[in-house]
Amino acid sequence: MTDHAHQLLRRAARRWRGGSLWPYFWLATVVAGTSAIGITQLQWPGWILFACLTAIALALLLDRNWRLSTTEICRKLDGRFPVLQDSSQLLNNPPDTLGSLAQVQRQRTAAALQQLRDNSALKNFRPPWHRNAVANAIGASFGLMVFVIANTLPQSDAPGQMPGAQAAAAAASIEVVEAVTEIRPPAYTGLPALTQSLQVKAPEQSRITWRITLNTPAGALTMLAARENFAFSPKETLPSRHWQLTRTLPEADFYQLSVHSGQEEILLPQIHNIEIDADRAPEFSFSLPRDNVTTINAGSEASSLLQVDVEVTDDFQVAETDLLITLASGDGENVRFRNDRIKLEPTDTAEGAKRYHFNMPVKRYQIEPGDELYWFLQARDNREPEPNPQKSQHFIIRWPQAEIFGLSDAEGMAIKVLPEYFRSQRQLIIDTEALLAEREQLSEGDFRKRSESLAHEQNLLRMRYGHFLGEEDSALEHDDESGPHHEAHGESVDAHGEEQEDHGDHEDHGNHGDHGDDHEAPAQQFGDASGVIAAAGHSHDTSEHATLFDPQTKELLRSALNAMWSSWRELSVIDPRASLPHQHTALRYIKEVQQASRIYLQRVGFEPPALDQNRRLSGERDGVKPPRVNTTRSDSEREQLLKLLQRVRADDPLDDGTAEELLSLPQLREQPQLRVELSKSLRLYRQQADCTDCRRQLSALLYQLLPAPQAQPSLPRERATTGSFDNWLQEQGGGRE
């Protein structure tokens, strides 16, 4: 029992001493972790960890709680737990040295201490953690860290800017002792390697190697380009003075050098340009042909007109040149196209130039009058990995047809065709045959209605082709001509032809009068428009005066119109079967007219018939909701640039997002050189806060990017309510009545 009581006292003492050391252990762990992160990530000095641990060790030495004797610990037990009855010291004495009464009290104290241990009351037997020594250690460590953080923060307010005096002093302490830039142009250029300094000018796709020597060793060297950063490779063990970097540059760029010395990053202020000479595409110089359009007539010498003499030049070398030909044959909707590519062989070769002299290979095609041949050259240089293709100007070779109309310059006539729902002669034949096939299934009324409809469309088609013979008026004249005139036309095809020939001399549709006779014209009645036409019109509506066709073509077209009149007559009397031969005759004459002439008809859009008014606004509108209109208005590109220009002129700092948004403007994609200059000015403006020249240069570039203002609608000027000329006249006594 005696040994067990002494062990209980020793355990209580160990708990007290361990509780005294526990705050120092946790504080040292936190300080060590924070210092390690600060040293590796935040560029804190290395002495911060040693200083903090020294402060903790000093506080630990000054703290007596973990060095108390057993007697003092017994006093702490008696003061903390009254159940021990101030008898803890008896547990520290051997039982042989105690009297019988003291032994009994010792046994009671040991039992009470055992009960405290079983109830976990001894877990809190330790000194308070916020005692003076621990608080002093925490305060000293925190103060050291605040001091280090305050000294390592940048002094400038704007992000991306280095401290002015500190950066200047650091940059002045590091210099580039030697800089050699080796440029190796691409192999296809044939240019030798050359050496330059930090300012680089090289051909496109050159392999550039920078070799830089610093005056002091550095831990790292970085090239800060316009869009990304590139790390130099050391040529010796770190820290090194000699660095090397190799890049392949497809476009212009600029860069700065950033040196890592110890825990500091020093940005050298000089900005160096990289100018790239782009590989230009080949160029063409034609000696022959001298004109873009060549016309080969029947009696001309074709061989002299088909010669081509051209020189193709390039800044390095012309790889190959092809001849691309497109032959257009046929007319109307039957035009056929044939494409060919022919590789040309040079007749003379020089450095960066090739000359080609050849005749157009027209004999390999079956060329007919009316055909056209379009051709151009396509050259490629020896650029790698992809060549630069370039097309020459286009040329046209024409073989004109024999003139049919006696017009030397006219290739045709453009007229507006009728809407889509007017049938052609071929469609009328198909519809008439369909009507005859359905005769047994149709009632008499339906059969009559469809026949009259075909007659009406046959009449419209006849008037359409009648325009080519000068029949200018259609509906007005034929409305005035009643049944007797139509019956006269219906006697026979020959009679209609004779009447048509005498149309301009005798009848002129019954209203125009005779331009060649001395007969007195009938009196004009009110509302009769035919007299106005006869008085103000001219004689181009007479078929004999129409100069569009030659006499043979006029006769063919007149025969087609006669056949159409005969077809209309038979359809009007509800005899479709008798109208079919006349329709086929009209179609045959129309095809002959088309073969004899080339008439280009202008295509027009579909003109639907008028909508039935009873059906308007009769649809279902359930579930139909009006579209949502976004009333929010975002600033235009010009307004955004103007706001940014005001910020620059006010010397406001620009963040990374604003710089990236500015460099992504659409107009900069087509101007890479301007984008490089703008990126360089932005970097200088953000790095040097007090640079007036940088601010002025950036403002000039932003002003250059401003798009032209859009024209805004304006209200008309209001007339002055006073001081008018009328008021002045009234004051003078001569106002208007």
Q: What is the distance, to the nearest Å, from the Cα of residue 369 to the centroid of all Cα atoms in its chain?
A: 46
Q: By C-alpha distance, which of 551, 571, 586, 550 is closest to 436?
A: 571
Q: How many CB atoms lie within 10 A of CB 406?
A: 9
**How far apart, in whole angstroms, are the C-alpha atoms of residue 111 and residue 254?**
85
The DSSP code for 316 is: S
**How far apart, in whole angstroms, are the C-alpha atoms of residue 108 and residue 602?**
125
Residue 243 has which token pair? 């660095």
Per-residue 3-state assignment (H helix, E strand, C coil) for 477-538: HHHHCCHHHHHHHCCCHHHHHHHHHCHHHHHHHHCCCCCCCCCCCCCCCCCCCHHHHHHHCC
pLDDT at 67: 66
Q: By C-alpha distance, which of 239, 242, 245, 246 is closest to 260?
A: 239
Which residues, including other chains, have CB under 8 Å from residue 541's CB and lie 6 or more apart? 470, 471, 472, 473, 504
**How far apart, in whole angstroms, are the C-alpha atoms of residue 321 and residue 285?**
13
pLDDT at 160: 42
pLDDT at 312: 95
pLDDT at 688: 78
Peptide bond between residue 369 and the one before it cis (omega within 30 degrees of 0): no
**Each residue's pLDDT tens digit, 561-603:** 999 999 999 999 999 999 999 999 999 888 887 766 544 444 5
pLDDT at 413: 42
Q: Contact, 275 vs 201, CB < 8 A?
A: yes
Half-sphere exposure of 162 (CA within 13 A, CB side): 18
Low pLDDT (below 50) residues in the chain: 1-2, 155-165, 167, 403-422, 473-530, 532-541, 543-545, 547, 598-602, 735-737
The residue extents of the domains of the chain are 2-150, 164-277, 283-398, 415-511+538-597, 637-705
pLDDT at 424: 83
The sheet carrying 240-249 orders its strands as 194-196, 176-184, 206-218, 240-249, 233-234
Pairing of strands 272-277, 200-203: parallel
Size of the chain, expressed as the number of residues it contains: 737
- The correct answer on CATH 3.90.1010 for the domain covering 283-398 is no
Residue 563 has which token pair? 């056949």
**Are 164-277 and 283-398 in the same CATH fold?**
yes
Angle, in degrees to the nearest 10, between helices 47-62 and 132-152:
170
CA distances from 402 to 297, 298, 548, 553 (A): 9, 9, 16, 15
What's the fold here for domain 164-277?
A: Immunoglobulin-like (2.60.40)
